């Protein structure tokens, strides 16, 4: 169960060791056999590409890179990660912003984006927007274009309107860890094309002739690459791997990848792209092989031969056109439906042309070049069209041609936008293209070109209606066979039901989609309306519809609107609906509504986009963007909240919402339409109607309206044949629902069967239960087992009863607890009780007698704290030993010590890191006190009031691994000092570690360079390769601040909740202790890895010591001890000597005896050993050896400290291991006693 995974604090390095040749990721790209190819790339290739982007795009500190791609495209990796390597920022652009090019332009300027990457088609749209409305783009420095061939014309247009913003033409392949070549442009090229540029870092490129030999300069050949960027091959596909991945014949030991692209070398080392060798093409940002589509077309009944080509039409975007051969023509929609069951929508051709035979070349192969020309000529047209006549019609036709990528001459005034292949995406693009002359709703309402033009010319009319007709009655037809009204899911719109309407057109059923208020793609604020108001407006509009059986379809959350409308129609004078169809169910089921509402309420717009992507509600927008225009942000959150409130109210007050109309729950047979729900998927709806039927669609997938509209249409026609509604039977109001104490919905908790209030559940109970199942469940199960033994000892349960309950406890999982909690949201103690009770043939009467939930909760939380303290102590020991090893390595080295960031005196890095070890040992010692607090069992204290049974509290404590019993009942169950004490220790350690990190940053700075880290842990400026940054140290220092924040949270929580012991360890109120432990362990892992990889640069240390006067304090001491100069006078003389020596340009290694003697004489003192004094004081070895006291930087003193600390770490490790062993042995003893193997009678 991963339902609570989003709430787990995952900040920090996971501590996983990575090798350069280790697999980093697998991205899937289309294959020619119908099976996608999973490209395997390694960490070395990934990192090489990231560094390439950093260098070529000059991504530095505080730079912002826009992420415009989703995670299913490999280009998203560098957009997300590369700026983080240099201390920059990643701005994930909301997809609704990308849908509106004008908003995207404003976002670029307003968010100070420095670097952005786009596909050529969107780049073209961006240029058009800037040409229409010129503006400054703020901090934008460079635009990278990738995914398809970049033509010269858009480059020329770009520099005409944005001459100061550079371009980078990026070329590569998924098999090559993304891009391998960059052409960096500051003006349009003089030639008629844009080259691919030159090879980048650690990559070698070839152009190969037909025999695999290197092609000469200027000769055309296949482009291939070798080097670290080349991936391993295709996952579980050795045959296709061998076809394109092979050993590099020119560089032994290297892999080579043959791209299948044609190109040629140009003078100057640049590469020109000349197209694909095979049928592999890119459509809307996706690389596909048309052979895969050909194969699927040949499987369609009636198709004997097929070939698919890409046509550029007017040159804006590529679209697919299919040429088919068969005895008779198969309807286009039937072909589309057949393909939709196997292919994603971007691989489904837009146009279908039937020929007597496919054209062939002289060699007998399909002449695809001829088919491309034919596709450009035919477009979508199969017959003559009536040309647009009015200026508005002509303007619309031009825009349609661009939106549909069709020849202008093929657009007629009687054409239907959606019949020509228009989608919600192209409709949204059309709205932008026309500068919002029309809205998305108007395109849906008037899809015929002449009708839309007439609506535009008529100007604003009456208030817009919600019902959008998606199918029209054929001429001469009488009353429709039925009317279907469709309500979309969260963030959806009427266009979602277009394919369903097309399927139902032959059956005579009129289909209307509901365009929810506030969901259109228009400027300005929009009003969002609740479920009841939408239902009322639709009911009013239906009053004007022809008399016919009415069917209501609610997709996902749209079920709420459909049910509200059904109840409204049943209660009113209009004819009631014939049937309600619930499409796909509600994600997560009714039981998951509160959680879904809570998540939506807290979601930002970008999190909405991520959720919709995860749920599959996206298709491309010039590279995989959302299908609908206003799915995101306010509309989505409103839909989740308003429909959730309605359904929860219906659950709590079913009498006010029940309908007599029957309900058909239409779901895919594989369950993918209702994630998180198992079992009887019609059960969720039976509280609303006595007539509920489950209609399962075969292998439909979650988004069957788009992929399997024929199956959905069959469900509609079947619903139309069902008998009409029965009179509704009123049920008793919720106030009369009895308290249930059986194993049913109310459970053993005795709560009202209807469950808690929706807000209480979403904001309080669900987070608490989620935390308990994630963190406390093992402790609760162990507690239940201990109580079983006590019941057996007291003679209340026999051995068989104990064994039966214990066996069921062992089967419990977090998912089972969450499901068992159900609507009542009982706490974990009651939920466990109910889980076991439901599964026992007979519940022992005495089970759970005289027990306290407070005892259980308090004990389980202490067990959680105990476990986290053990883990953190072990992490501290491991970190301390790492610092100890580094201290031993640096004990004999000398380096400048720093006070207030200035060189002060000679120390050794060993002395410094011995101080780190001392701090860690001090923290471990203080944690011992914290552990003693949690090592006292409160079990059996009796809810602060005492209990009736003679519990053996000492025995229970021992079986739980506690060393003692906390006797005072109030203190036992309200104990929470340990949380504050632990966080206080972590906070103090964080302050110390932050100071250590700051010192390391000083040492590693360009002016010192005393330490070094491997490149994998560093950031290097492309413009200043001599400068090496350590951003990881900044991250560690930032995370130490979170430790203090956690302490503040706990202190505040304890002050505000004086009698609760749950706040500080529960994520219901604040992150608290879990966050503190997680952050501490993250800091220790990351800092430990840094210390493990840190290297001392001895030469730089020695040179710095020789260059700096670090012995002034030692010189003053020696003057007093050897020359009897008074201490205060000796300080003055030492200081004057350093000032005069620096003024004369003397280094510390060249002692000036006469100068020192003269300075002493000025103060009335004399020495015959001036040179010796200076040598001993200023020399590097002397600087360390002069420090003779214990605990000093003298190498011997450092080694003595380290020996003592080594023993300290060993002893600490042994103590903490002993504690863990005691707990583990107690658990094993508990299991032995439960199974009767303890060896003595209990």
Indicate the pairing of strand 115-118 with strand 64-67. Answer: parallel
Bridge partner residues of 264 (DSSP) = 272
pLDDT over 50 (residue 738): no
pLDDT of residue 504: 84
> How far is Cα 30 from Cα 1039, in angstroms, rounded to an integer?
42
Extents of the domains making up the chain: 6-276, 291-378, 388-464, 465-472+479-720, 758-844, 855-894+908-1097
> How far is Cα 1018 from Cα 1038, in angstroms, rounded to an integer?
17
SS3 state at 1030 = coil
> How far is Cα 2 from Cα 595, in angstroms, rounded to an integer?
13
> What interhelical angle do 593-602 and 633-652 show, nearest 10?
150
Mean pLDDT of 461-465: 64
pLDDT of residue 1223: 92
- Which fold is adopted by the domain 758-844? Fumarase C; Chain B, domain 1 (1.10.275)
> How far is Cα 589 from Cα 837, in angstroms, rounded to an integer?
24
Mean pLDDT of 970-986: 72
pLDDT in tens, 1124-1181: 899 889 889 988 888 888 888 888 778 888 999 999 999 899 888 888 888 877 765 4
For 318, the enclosing helix (H) or strand (E) is none
314 burial via Cβ count (<10 Å: 0-12, 13-18, 19+): middle
Identify whether the C-beta of residue 1074 lies closer than 8 Å to the C-beta of residue 1050.
no
pLDDT of residue 732: 31
> How far is Cα 510 from Cα 550, in angstroms, rounded to an integer?
10
Task: Find which of 499-513, 901-915, 929-943 is predicted with most confidence, using mean pLDDT.
Answer: 499-513
Q: What does DSSP assign to residue 557?
A: G
pLDDT over 90 (residue 769): no
pLDDT in tens, 253-298: 899 999 988 888 887 788 988 766 655 676 755 667 676 788 788 7
Identify whether the C-beta of residue 165 lies closer than 8 Å to the C-beta of residue 142.
yes
Q: Positive or negative, the Cα torsion across 520, 524, 527, 528?
A: positive
The pLDDT-based confidence of 728 (bands split at 50, 70, 90) is very low
Question: Any residues with CB less than 8 A from the CB of 1238 and at least 6 apart, and which?
Answer: 1229, 1232
Identify whether the C-beta of residue 510 lies closer than 8 Å to the C-beta of residue 553.
no
Mean pLDDT of 34-39: 77
**Residue 1239 CA neighbour count, 13 Å, CB half:** 1
pLDDT of residue 693: 86
The pLDDT-based confidence of 233 (bands split at 50, 70, 90) is very high
> How far is Cα 555 from Cα 561, in angstroms, rounded to an integer?
10
* % residues pLDDT > 90 (the chain): 20
> Tokens 């601040």 sit at which residue?
1041
Hey, what are 597's tokens? 């509402």
Distances (CA, A) of 897 to 717, 1132, 1201: 85, 21, 19
Name the residue with higher pLDDT: 350 or 161.
161
Distances (CA, A) of 665 to 485, 490, 669, 681: 16, 18, 11, 8
CATH number of this structure's domain 291-378: 3.30.300.30
> How far is Cα 1167 from Cα 1154, in angstroms, rounded to an integer?
10
pLDDT in tens, 532-554: 999 999 998 887 655 688 999 99
Look at 9-13, 342-346, 839-843, 1196-1200 and tell me which has the smallest mean pLDDT. Answer: 9-13
The pLDDT-based confidence of 485 (bands split at 50, 70, 90) is very high
pLDDT of residue 1017: 66
Q: Torsion angle of alpha carbons 484, 488, 494, 496, nearest 10°? A: -100
Question: Any residues with CB less than 8 A from the CB of 762 and at least 6 apart, and which?
Answer: 594, 595, 597, 598, 601
CATH number of this structure's domain 388-464: 1.10.1200.10
Hey, what are 441's tokens? 């709703």
Q: Torsion angle of alpha carbons 250, 253, 254, 255, nearest 10°? A: 100
Hey, what are 90's tokens? 């990643």
> How far is Cα 750 from Cα 745, in angstroms, rounded to an integer?
10
pLDDT of residue 1121: 87
Mean pLDDT of 866-889: 92
Residue spans of beta strands (DSSP E) within 30-141: 37-42, 64-67, 89-92, 115-118
Hey, what are 629's tokens? 């225009």
pLDDT over 70 (residue 1056): no
Hey, what are 579's tokens? 């049937």
Mean pLDDT of 203-214: 89
Hey, what are 946's tokens? 């005492």
Burial 154-174 (b: 16+ CB within 10 A, else e): bbebbbebbeebbbbbbbbbb
Lateral strand order in the sheet of 178-185: 89-92, 64-67, 115-118, 142-145, 166-173, 178-185, 198-199
pLDDT of residue 1007: 63
Q: Is 208 left (phi over 0), alpha (psi -120 to 50) or beta?
A: beta
Mean pLDDT of 222-245: 93
> Tokens 């020109």 sit at which residue?
272
Closest CA to 658 of 631, 689, 620: 689
The pLDDT-based confidence of 1029 (bands split at 50, 70, 90) is low
The pLDDT-based confidence of 948 (bands split at 50, 70, 90) is low
Identify whether the C-beta of residue 126 lies closer than 8 Å to the C-beta of residue 101.
yes
End-to-end Cα distance, the chain: 37
CB atoms within 10 A of CB 617: 23
> How far is Cα 1037 from Cα 1051, in angstroms, rounded to an integer?
23
Hey, what are 232's tokens? 């391993």
The pLDDT-based confidence of 145 (bands split at 50, 70, 90) is very high
Mean pLDDT of 775-801: 87
Please give the mean pLDDT across all residues of the chain.
Answer: 78
CATH number of this structure's domain 855-894+908-1097: 1.20.200.10
> What interhelical angle do 853-889 and 977-1004 show, nearest 10?
20
* % residues pLDDT > 70 (the chain): 77
Residue spans of beta strands (DSSP E) within 417-576: 467-469, 482-487, 509-514, 550-555
pLDDT over 50 (residue 201): yes
pLDDT in tens, 901-934: 455 667 788 888 898 999 999 999 999 988 988 8
- Which fold is adopted by the domain 6-276? Rossmann fold (3.40.50)
Question: Architecture of domain 465-472+479-720 in CATH?
Answer: 3-Layer(aba) Sandwich (3.40)
> How far is Cα 240 from Cα 741, in angstroms, rounded to an integer?
63
pLDDT over 60 (residue 431): yes
Mean pLDDT of 389-394: 86
Distances (CA, A) of 907 to 182, 1111, 1118, 1181, 1195: 48, 11, 18, 10, 10
Question: Any residues with CB less than 8 A from the CB of 275 and at least 6 apart, and which?
Answer: 261, 262
> What interhelical angle do 332-340 and 709-720 show, nearest 10?
110
Task: Find which of 381-390, 623-632, 1022-1031, 1072-1081 is predicted with most confidence, using mean pLDDT.
Answer: 1072-1081
Name the residue with higher pLDDT: 522 or 257.
257
Indicate the pairing of strand 579-583 with strand 663-668. Answer: parallel
pLDDT of residue 459: 74
pLDDT of residue 611: 62
Decide if 6-276 and 465-472+479-720 have a common fold: yes
pLDDT over 90 (residue 523): no
Closest CA to 621 of 491, 339, 432, 417: 432
> Tokens 């590369």 sit at which residue?
82
pLDDT in tens, 652-672: 777 788 888 889 888 887 655
> How far is Cα 183 from Cα 185, in angstroms, rounded to an integer?
6
User: Cα 862 to chain center, whole Å?
Assistant: 33
> How far is Cα 149 from Cα 138, in angstroms, rounded to an integer?
27
SS3 state at 96 = helix
> What interhelical angle do 1031-1056 and 1072-1093 show, nearest 10?
160
Distances (CA, A) of 24 to 40, 178, 892, 1198: 8, 13, 41, 43
pLDDT over 80 (residue 252): yes
> How far is Cα 867 from Cα 1081, in angstroms, rounded to an integer?
13
pLDDT over 90 (residue 143): yes
Mean pLDDT of 316-323: 78
């Amino acid at each position: 169960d991963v339902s609570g995974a989003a709430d787990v604090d995952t900040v920090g390095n996971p501590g996983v060791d990575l090798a350069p040749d280790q697999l980093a990721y697998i991205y899937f790209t289309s294959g020619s056999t119908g099976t996608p190819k999973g490209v395997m790339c390694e960490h070395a290739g990934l990192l090489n590409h990231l560094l390439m982007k950093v260098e070529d795009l000059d991504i530095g500190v505080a730079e912002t890179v826009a992420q415009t791609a989703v995670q299913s495209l490999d280009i998203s990796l560098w957009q997300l990660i590369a700026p983080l390597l240099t201390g920059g920022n990643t701005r994930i652009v909301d997809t609704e912003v990308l849908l509106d090019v004008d908003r995207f332009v404003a976002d670029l300027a307003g968010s100070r984006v420095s670097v952005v990457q786009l596909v050529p088609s969107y780049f073209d749209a961006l240029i058009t927007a800037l040409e229409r409305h010129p503006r400054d783009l703020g901090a934008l420095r460079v635009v990278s274009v990738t995914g398809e061939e970049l033509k010269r014309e858009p480059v020329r247009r770009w520099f005409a309107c944005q001459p100061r913003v550079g371009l980078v033409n990026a070329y590569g392949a998924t098999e090559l860890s993304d891009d391998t070549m960059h052409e960096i442009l500051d003006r349009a090229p003089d030639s008629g094309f844009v080259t691919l540029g030159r090879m980048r870092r650690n990559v070698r490129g070839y152009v190969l002739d037909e025999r695999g030999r290197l092609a000469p300069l200027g000769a055309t050949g296949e482009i291939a690459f070798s080097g670290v960027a080349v991936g391993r091959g295709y996952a579980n596909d050795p045959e296709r791997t061998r076809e394109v991945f092979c050993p590099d014949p020119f560089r032994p030991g290297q892999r080579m990848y043959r791209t299948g692209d044609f190109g040629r070398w140009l003078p100057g080392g640049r590469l020109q792209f000349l197209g694909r060798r095979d049928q592999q093409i890119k459509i809307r940002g996706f690389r596909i092989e048309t052979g895969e589509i050909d194969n699927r077309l040949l499987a369609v009944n009636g198709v004997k031969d097929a070939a698919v080509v890409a046509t550029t039409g007017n040159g804006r975007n590529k679209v697919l056109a299919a040429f088919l051969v068969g005895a008779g023509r198969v309807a286009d929609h039937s072909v589309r439906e057949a393909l939709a069951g196997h292919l994603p929508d971007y691989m489904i051709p837009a146009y279908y042309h039937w020929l007597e035979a496919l054209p062939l070349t002289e060699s007998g192969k399909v002449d695809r070049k001829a088919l491309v020309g034919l596709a450009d000529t035919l477009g979508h047209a199969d017959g003559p069209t009536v040309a647009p006549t009015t200026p508005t019609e002509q303007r619309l036709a031009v825009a349609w041609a661009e939106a549909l990528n069709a020849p202008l001459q093929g657009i007629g005034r009687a054409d239907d936008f959606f019949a020509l292949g228009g989608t919600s995406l192209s409709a949204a693009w059309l709205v932008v293209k026309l500068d919002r002359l029309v809205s998305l709703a108007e395109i849906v309402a008037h899809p015929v070109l002449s009708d839309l033009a007439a609506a535009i010319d008529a100007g604003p009319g009456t208030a817009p209606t919600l019902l959008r007709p998606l199918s029209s009655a054929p001429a001469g037809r009488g009353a429709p066979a039925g009317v279907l009204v469709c309500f979309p899911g969260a963030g959806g719109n009427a266009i979602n039901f277009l394919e369903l309407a097309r399927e139902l057109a032959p059956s005579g059923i009129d289909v209307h989609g509901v365009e929810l208020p506030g969901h259109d793609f228009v400027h300005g604020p929009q009003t969002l309306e609740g479920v009841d108001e939408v239902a009322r407006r639709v009911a009013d509009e239906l009053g004007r519809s022809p008399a016919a059986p009415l069917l209501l379809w609610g997709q996902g959350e749209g079920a709420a609107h459909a049910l509200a409308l059904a109840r409204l129609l049943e209660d009113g004078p209009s004819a009631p609906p014939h049937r309600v169809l619930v499409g796909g169910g509600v994600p997560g089921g009714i039981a998951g509504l509160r959680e879904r509402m809570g998540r939506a309420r807290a979601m930002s717009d970008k999190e909405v986009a991520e959720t919709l992507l995860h749920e599959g509600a996206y298709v491309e927008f010039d590279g995989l963007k959302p299908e609908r225009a206003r799915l995101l942000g306010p509309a989505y959150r409103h839909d989740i909240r308003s429909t959730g409130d309605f359904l929860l109210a219906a659950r709590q007050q079913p009498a006010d919402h029940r309908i007599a109309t029957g309900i058909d729950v239409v779901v895919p047979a594989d369950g993918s339409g209702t994630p998180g729900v198992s079992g009887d998927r019609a059960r969720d709806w039976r509280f609303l109607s006595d007539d509920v039927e489950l209609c399962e669609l075969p292998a439909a997938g979650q988004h069957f309206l788009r992929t399997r509209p024929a199956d959905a249409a069959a469900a509609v026609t079947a619903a139309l044949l069902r008998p009409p509604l029965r009179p509704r039977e009123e049920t008793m109001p919720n106030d009369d629902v009895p308290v249930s104490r059986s194993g049913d919905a109310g459970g053993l908790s005795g709560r009202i069967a209807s469950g808690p209030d929706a807000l209480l559940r979403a904001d309080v109970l669900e987070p608490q239960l989620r935390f308990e199942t994630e963190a406390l469940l093992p402790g609760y199960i162990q507690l239940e087992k201990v109580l079983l033994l006590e019941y057996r000892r007291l003679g209340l349960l026999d051995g068989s009863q104990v064994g039966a309950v214990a066996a069921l406890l062992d089967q419990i999982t977090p998912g089972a607890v969450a499901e068992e909690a159900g609507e009542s949201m009982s706490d974990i103690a009651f939920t466990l009780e109910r889980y076991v009770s439901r599964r026992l043939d007979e519940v022992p009467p005495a089970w759970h007698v005289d027990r306290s939930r407070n005892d259980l909760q308090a004990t389980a939380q202490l067990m959680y704290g105990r476990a986290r303290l053990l883990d953190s102590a072990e992490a501290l020991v491991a970190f301390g030993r790492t610092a100890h090893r580094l201290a031993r390595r640096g004990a004999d080295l000398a380096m400048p010590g720093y006070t207030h960031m200035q060189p002060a005196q000679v120390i050794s890095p060993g002395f410094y890191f011995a101080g780190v070890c001392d701090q860690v040992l001090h923290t471990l010692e203080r944690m011992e006190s914290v552990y003693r607090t949690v090592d006292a069992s409160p079990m059996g204290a009796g809810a602060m009031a005492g209990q009736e049974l003679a519990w053996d509290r000492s025995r229970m404590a021992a079986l739980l691994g506690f060393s003692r019993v906390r006797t005072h009942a109030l203190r036992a169950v309200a104990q929470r000092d340990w949380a504050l004490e632990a966080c206080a220790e972590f906070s103090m350690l964080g302050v110390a570690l932050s100071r250590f990190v700051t010192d390391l940053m000083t040492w590693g700075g360009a002016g010192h360079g005393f330490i070094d880290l491997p490149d994998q842990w560093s950031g290097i400026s492309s413009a200043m390769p001599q400068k090496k940054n350590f951003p990881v140290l900044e991250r560690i220092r930032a995370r130490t601040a979170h430790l203090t924040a956690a302490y503040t949270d706990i202190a505040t929580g304890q002050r505000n909740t004086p009698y609760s012991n749950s706040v500080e360890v529960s994520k219901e109120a604040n992150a608290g202790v879990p966050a503190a432990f997680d952050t501490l362990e993250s800091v220790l892992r990351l800092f430990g890895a840094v210390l493990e990889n840190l290297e001392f640069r001895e030469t730089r240390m020695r040179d710095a010591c020789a260059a700096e006067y670090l012995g002034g304090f030692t010189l003053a001491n020696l003057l007093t001890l050897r020359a009897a100069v008074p201490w205060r006078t000796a300080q003055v003389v030492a200081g004057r000597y350093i000032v005069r020596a620096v003024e004369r340009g003397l280094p510390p290694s060249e002692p000036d005896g006469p100068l020192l003697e003269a300075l002493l004489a000025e103060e009335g003192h004399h020495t015959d050993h001036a040179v010796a004094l200076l040598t001993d004081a200023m020399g590097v070895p002397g600087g360390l050896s002069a420090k003779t006291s214990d605990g000093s930087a003298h190498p011997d003193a450092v080694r003595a400290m380290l020996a003592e600390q080594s023993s300290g770490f060993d002893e600490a490790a042994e103590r903490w291991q002993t504690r863990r062993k005691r707990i583990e042995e107690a658990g094993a003893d508990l299991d032995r006693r439960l199974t009767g193997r303890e060896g003595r009678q209990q």
